[in-house]
Amino acid sequence: MTYDVTVDGKTHHVELTRGERSWHCTVDGEPVEVDAALTARDVLSLLIGGKQY
């Protein structure tokens, strides 16, 4: 999944790939450790660096 996400007025390119046991994520091309969960249809909750998005 690829998203353009705007946080605090700045747009970031986010790519998420679902692995067998976890999600793999890059933000603006840089790998990021992320905890992701589908909370509803088409709604993905992300926990990155202790912040929830």
pLDDT digits (tens, 9 = 90+) for 8-17: 999 999 998 8
Contact between residue 34 and residue 25 where contact means Cβ atoms under 8 Å apart? yes
Q: Mind listing the pLDDT tens digit for each residue in 7-41?
A: 899 999 999 888 888 888 999 999 988 888 888 88
17: tokens are 């790939």
- Count CA atoms closer than 13 A to 8's CA, side-chain side: 1
30: tokens are 């840089």
pTM of the model: 0.65
Query: Domain locations in the chain?
Result: 2-52
Q: What is the DSSP annotation of 9-53?
A: TEEEEEEEEE-SSSEEEEETTEEE--EEEEEETTEEEEEETTEE-
